Amino acid sequence: MAVNFVDAVNAYNQAAEKGIAGKKDKSDPVGEDFASTLRDVASDTLATMQTAENKTLMAAAGKADVTDVVTAMSEAEVTLQTVVAVRDKVVQAYQEILRMPI
């Protein structure tokens, strides 16, 4: 198999140009920052909990279907379990950092 040197150089130059053109200033964030991601997750969690609470109140007043209430409560339970698991991992990571030697 013959390799054309000119084709290889052209491919390398195209890749280099794309890399340079795609390179952003370090002050420009590549994606969404952690704080805004955390804020979005927290607001989604609160919305899920509020939906479950509203469905429960509607069921107590006799205005909601039992299936909807059970579904909303299950979603809230899964969301709460996820939040607790993430919290536990954050605490565990913090404790590991504290145990690191200086």
pLDDT in tens, 31-82: 678 888 889 999 999 999 999 999 999 999 999 899 999 999 999 999 999 9
How far apart are alpha carbons 62 and 54 in whole angstroms? 12
| pLDDT (0 to 100) of residue 34 | 82
Residue 12: its pLDDT value, please?
67
Position with higher pLDDT, 12 vs 73: 73
Reduced to 3 DSSP states, what percent helix, strand and coil does the chain have, rounded to the nearest 5?
75, 0, 25
Instruction: Give mean pLDDT, residues 86-94.
Output: 95
93 has pLDDT over 80: yes
Q: Could you tell me the residue ranges of all domains in the chain? A: 32-102
The predicted structure's pLDDT at residue 23: 54
> What confidence score (pLDDT) does residue 15 get?
72
- Provide the whole-model pTM: 0.61
Indicate the Cα dihedral angle 42, 46, 48, 50, nearest 10°. Answer: 180
